[in-house]
Structure 1
Amino acid sequence: MYFIGVDVGTSSVRAGLVKKVENGGGKLIKYHAEPITIFKPKTSYFEQSSKNIWDKVCECVKNVTADIIDKSEIKGIGFDATCSLVLLDKHNEPLSASPTNNNDQNIIMWLDHRAEKEADFINSLGHDCLKYVGGKVSLEMEIPKLLWLKRNMLDSYNNIHYAFDLPDFLTFKATGKTSRSICSLTCKWNYDAVKGQFPQDYFESIGLKELTEDNYSKIGNDILFPGDFVGKLSNEAANDMNLINGISVATSIIDAHAGGLGLIGSTTNKLSDVDLTSKLVLIAGTSSCHMSITENILFTKGVWGPYKNALIPNYFLSEGGQSASGVLIDYILSTHPDYQKTLNDLNGQNIHDYLYDEILKLSTSASLKTFHELTKDFHIYPDFHGNRSPVADSTLTGMICGLTMHNSIFITYLAMIQALSYSTKHIIESLYKAGRNEFKSILICGGLSKNKLFIQTTADVCSIPVLISNEPESVLLGAAILGATASKIFPNLKTAINELKNDAYQIEADVNSFDYHSRKYRVFLKMLDDQQSYKNIMNGT
């Protein structure tokens, strides 16, 4: 039997075909990726086309299932996607979300920062529902973006028939059903999953009362849990994908959360703990997402959540994050004066492996206790694209201390990797201060899970073992787990996670670096304080 997982990321669509193997676990036997278009009409504006995305979804699914002669062997399909806002008109056709008034540009992407004023306004009112998002709604979420549309593109706003989170749009296209995932609504739409309702007075107070009309039909009133059965694949969608109709379609999930599903069951011979609440899942790609679950409700300032049922039913999800991680590493390298020379020196080697090897050589030559000591006099604060957690301040910027006229690309690269790890430690310490139990492992997936320096530095800085799944495509596996749950092959989502999980290998923290990181982490926090002090000075406060 087979399950399909579809992942719509920031710049590409991927589909994977997963097969349950006899000795346990889900094996990705084929996957295919296609790029998707990003429009940038203004600075900090990022838009996409739902038609372009759906066409690429169908192309990817057709590719990975082409060799399956009997399509009835495919039992379920699950979708995940970025938390981007999709607009449709009364004919369910794309409705412009762009100042260009091009209807094809009907998606405001997650990383779009146009709604900064709207987010600030919403936060200034201090509604009680904001306690579920660390005290502040993010400009990356959907309600500030809808308020921006009302204030700046009233014609489009007034013609919204449906406003979907992108993962829910995909299940709508697959089935024709307008149900929404509690994952998307709770994490990005201020749905109160504890009370099981949208906070009507919240929408009224911020000026979006019309969204409450007709029992919230525009933004969702049929709310399901991740992996719940949405419906059967429609005739139209089956034709688009070259599949048979009737395949079970699962309630969707946000892309990072799909990685959480694909990872959270993983164990090793050294660390066989099956307690899901003891694990921090780090989805590290263009941006990073830090997810953990608890059995009890736990509020943490600056950390999104607790989101009830958003990942696994009957658990509360806490979600921290970094607005820029992988893209920030790329930026710090590509803008370095020695970048081109470094590319010329690779001789076919992966640039990140090459840099790590050279860092180890430099450390050995200097007879250092740990390679991390190379950055003793060079420090980076990494919020070049604002802080998502735990400060929750989109106006924060990056800082570098220790610049000379001859800064090495190796030291700069190492310092940036360390800075991102200190940011992760900052999130972890915020969760500890709120009362959660200590983590026994960090499970990493995404592009940075292939970066050996990033993995080792995360373990060293946080003093927690890092687990890397033997299935590198954890996000696609997580989406397929949703499809498996909807197919009723497994009785519930938790069972599907356990049956399709993969083993992992473990990276231990280097005890020789603990003291060094303790001191350098103090510098990290001091740089944050100093930046806030500079703002106060310049504002005359």
Structure 2
Amino acid sequence: MSDYVIGVDVGTGSARAGIFDLRGKLLAMAAEPIQIWRPRPLHVEQSSEDIWRAVSIAVRTCCQRAGCRPEEVRGISFDATCSLVVLGDQDRPLPVNFEGDANRNIIVWMDHRALAEAEEINAGHYEVLRYVGWKISPEMETPKLLWLKRHLPDTWQKARRFFDLADYLTYRATGNDTRSFCTVVCKWTYLGHSGENGTWDRNYFSAIGLEDVLERDLAGHVIRPMGSPLGKLLPQAAADLGLTTECRVGVGIIDAHAGGIGLLGAVWEEGEPLDPARLDTALAYIGGTSGCHMAVSQEPRFLQGVWGPYYSAMIPGMWLIEAGQSSAGSAIDQAVIDHANAPSLQAEAAERGCTPHEILNSYLLTQANDSHWALLSKDVHILPFYLGNRSPYADPHARAVLDGLTLDNSIHSQALRYLATIQGVCSVDYLVIKALNEAGFNIGTLFVTGGITKNPLWLQTLADATGLPCVLPAEEEAVLLGTAILAAVGSQAYPDVLTAMRAMCHRGRVVQPNLTLKPYYEARHRIVENLYQQQVAHRNLMKPFEADSA
């Protein structure tokens, strides 16, 4: 058998597959769109059958492009968004919607229908909340489950399995109902550090009215570290994926966490000892629709309003802090589409065969004259909390604030808003890193992947706003690489995740910060903090009127 492994990444809008050799070189990749439904405000749904269809197409296409025979693939693993999959008898999909459409059986990660349930859980101050910064998010699974039990009792009674999406995919592939430490520790409140293999806090589930989740074994009871061998592909799965039943499957992971694995292996220079303590100086940043910050340490570090510390949730045996922004690239896109000049910009982009972002980037560079382009937006400030704030405030009710708008509807006005949004996103990144270092980290380098690497203005702003060098991976598809690393470990090509990371991750280009801009960005950071504090004050002023407005 040849030494090829496949990583599958299921994001919000597509399923992607990449085939790698055991040195981390990408041979080919393919992507297939997946469907998404938004039937009501805050409701976002997908289909597990549609996702498996897309995964199958992506894997087969990927192998064809690489010229790889099925028998040459020794392993496969899966990453996915932290979306909730609901199955009934004989693993049939069950509806998570009021329309009764069983095809739509996934509550997507960004779905915020469980805001009230999250608030109710947080009011209980349960001990398990200590490991999510004392504030559970509606993006996590227990609030979603509580919403499902209350609002769709028929689905609840018929449910036989609840999965995080990555675990559903490994189950679909192998028939093995083993859950990932990553998914259940990060999103289900599983205590990975408790006992030999972790444990569920049954008192917590009983207190919030979800004791039957554990009593009926709906969330699984076999939990294993990422990359652990799950066995071989089932015959039907092998046929769907175009692989053989000799292909082995490794325990999967959440998508952003796969990016962390695919990035942080490059923290060690050539010839440097494989010392886990080096990871303390680096942050994995996955910048796409959302923004995720991954930092690991050998001991737990607690931060108010930041998710974690999670034990063995990304790198087995180490503690993970997971911060992030629910809207990063999506906030930047909002500045592109939500402006009077947007139709003209879209038309120009279509005519020139480029993206609107590229046009705005070029425009800003031509307007700078003798000053730096970053200063063009000095009178425009954006708090980019369109989907609430995940870190460092853990406030799902926070919203975006636009400060400094005029009646100008030209491309100049749009470009300034676009730039100010990028700067606002990067200011929040700075505030997150500041909080991590105050908690004991020593972050001096950012390892960066995702859509941000395709936007040079966003990437440079991240370096300038944080004052830190941004290291891009030699293999730009770091999320796929991270999952392929788990496939390599699951197929026993490497003995453990750290060894595989070091062998398969390599450094690429480095973007250095412009330190002359430090005073400018220090001022912008303070403005972002002030905008958030003012918004909280305004919400408090309006609290007496909430019942009337409802």
Equivalent of 1:357, from 334, 353, 362? 362
Structure 2 residue 436 is the aligned partner of structure 1 residue 431: yes
TM-score by length of 1: 0.95
User: In the alignment, which residue of structure 1 is the partner of 2:120?
Assistant: 121
For 1:397, the equivalent position in structure 2 comes to 399
Structure 2 distance, partners of 1:137, 1:421, is 24
Q: Which whole-Å deviations, capped at 9, do the CAs of 1:198-224 have from their partners, x for residues lacking one?
A: 10000000001111215xx21011101
CA distance in 1, matches of 2:335, 2:163: 35
The Cα shift of 1:268 comes to 9.3
Task: Name the structure 2 match of 1:161.
Answer: 160
In structure 1, the partner of 2:143 is 144
> Are the equivalent residues in 2 in contact too, given 1:268–1:506 (CA < 8 A)?
no
* Residue 66 of structure 2 is aligned to residue 61 of structure 1: no
Partner of 2:186, secondary structure, is helix
Q: Distance in 1 between matches of 2:272 and 2:361?
A: 30
Kept in 2: contact 1:228–1:486 (CA 8 A) = yes
Alignment partners' CA distance in 2, 1:338 and 1:485:
50
For residue 285 of structure 1, the aligned residue among 285, 288, 308 is 288
User: For residues 200 and 218 of structure 2, what CA distance do their matches in structure 1 show?
Assistant: 13
Structure 1 residue 328, shift from structure 2 partner: 1.4
Give the one of 477, 481, 484 matched to 1:480: 484
Relative distance call for 1:268 and 1:505 in structure 2 (3 A) is: farther
Distance 1:203 1:344 in 2: 53
Matched with 1:231 is 231
Percent of aligned pairs sharing the same letter: 39
| Residue from 295, 299, 302 that aligns with 1:296 | 299
| SS at 2:100 equivalent | coil
- Summarize the Cα distance change of 1:151–1:334 in structure 2 as closer, same or farther, 3 Å threshold: same
Contact 1:268–1:504 (Cα < 8 Å) also in 2: no
Between 248-257 and 372-381, report the one with greater CA deviation: 372-381
Distance in 1 (alpha carbons) for counterparts of 2:536 and 2:251: 42
Q: 1:155 to 1:18 in 2, by over 3 A?
A: same
Where structure 2 has 5 or more consecutive residues not aligned to the other structure, the ranges are 546-550
In 2, the alpha carbon distance for the partners of 1:537 and 1:272 equals 56
Among 502, 506, 511, which residue is 2:506 paired with?
A: 502
Asked if 1 retains the 8 angstrom alpha-carbon contact of 2:74 and 2:246, the reply is no
State the match for 2:417 in structure 1.
Answer: 412
Using the TM superposition, name which of 283-292 and 167-176 deviates more. Answer: 283-292
Distance 1:343 1:213 in 2: 54
State the distance in 2 between where 1:363 and 1:102 align: 53
Residue type of the alignment partner of 1:124 = A
Residue 126 to residue 244, structure 1, CA distance change in 2 (3 Å): same
Distance in 2 between residues matched to 1:238 and 1:198, nearest whole Å: 33
| Structure 2 counterpart of 1:245 | 245
Q: Which amino acid aligns with 2:500?
A: A
Which letter does structure 2 place at the counterpart of 1:456?
Answer: Q
AA at the equivalent of 2:222:
D
CA distance in 1, matches of 2:69, 2:452: 37
For 2:328, the aligned partner's letter is S
Q: CA deviation at 1:340?
A: 2.7
How many aligned positions are there?
531
User: How far is 1:409 from its partner?
Assistant: 1.4
CA contact (8 A) 2:428 2:525 kept: no
Decide whether the 8 Å contact of 2:281 with 2:443 is kept in 1.
yes
CA deviations 1:507-538 (Å, max 9, x no partner) are: 11101100111112111111111111111222
Report how far residue 432 of structure 1 moved.
Answer: 2.1
Q: In the superposition, relative to structure 1, how do residues 268 and 481 fare at CA in structure 2: closer, same or farther (>3 Å)?
A: closer
CA spacing shift, 1:269–1:342, aligned 2, 3 Å: farther
Amino acid at match of 1:288: G
Q: Please state how far the C-alpha of 1:425 moved relative to its aligned partner.
A: 0.9
Find the counterpart in structure 2 of residue 33 from structure 1. 31
Q: Which amino acid aligns with 2:374?
A: H
Matched, 1:42 2:22: no
1:341 lines up with 2:339 in the alignment:
no
Q: Deviations over 1:470-516 (max 9, x none)?
A: 21111111111110001111111111111111222111110110011
Hey, what's the Cα distance between the residues in 1 that align with 2:17 and 2:83?
A: 19
Is the 1:90–1:159 contact (alpha carbons within 8 Å) kept by the matching residues of 2?
Answer: yes
Q: Is structure 2 residue 459 aligned with structure 1 residue 463?
A: no
Deviates more, 1:78-87 or 1:353-362: 353-362
Which residue number corresponds to residue 548 of structure 2?
Answer: none
Q: Deviation at 1:158?
A: 1.2
Cα distance in 2, alignment partners of residues 60 and 432 from structure 1? 40
How does 1:236-275 map onto structure 2 within 5 Å? 236-266=236-266, 275=278
SS of structure 2 residue aligned to 1:311: coil
Whether contact under 8 Å (1:353, 1:452) holds in the other structure is no
Cα separation, partners in 2 of 1:207 and 1:442, compared to 1, 3 Å: same
Query: 2:529: which partner in 1?
Result: 525
1:402-445 Cα deviation digits (max 9, x unpaired)? 111116111111100000001111111221222x2321211111
Could you say if the C-alpha distance between residues 353 and 229 of structure 1 is closer, same or farther in structure 2, counting changes exceeding 3 Å? same
DSSP-derived class of the 2:5 partner? strand
- Tell me the secondary structure at the aligned position of residue 91 of structure 1: helix
Q: Which residue of 1 aligns with 2:218?
A: 218
Q: Secondary structure at the match of 2:21?
A: strand
- 8 Å Cα contact 2:267/2:279 also seen in 1: no
Give 1:13 deviation, angstroms: 0.6
Give 3-state SS (helix, strand or coil) of 1:533's partner.
helix
2:86–2:105 contact (8 Å) kept in structure 1: yes
Aligned twin of 2:16 = 14
Q: Which moved more, 1:79-88 or 1:269-278?
A: 269-278
Give SS of 1:266's match: helix
The one-letter code sitting in structure 2 at the alignment partner of 1:254 is I
What is the match of residue 441 of structure 1? 445
Contact 2:472 2:510 in 1 (8 A): yes
Query: 1:70 offset after TM fit, Å?
Result: 4.2
Cα pair distance change 1:65/1:349, threshold 3 Å: closer
Distance 1:307 1:390 in 2: 17
Q: Distance in 2 between matches of 1:140 and 1:414?
A: 28
Q: Please give the residue correspondences for 1:64-83 in structure 2 after superposition, counting only pairs within 5 Å.
A: 64-66=62-64, 68=67, 70-83=69-82
Residue of 308, 315, 318 corresponding to 1:315? 318
Counterpart of 2:36, as a letter, is I
The residue matched to 2:118 in structure 1 has which SS? Answer: helix
| Deviation, structure 1 residue 356 | 2.1
Amino acid at match of 1:245: T
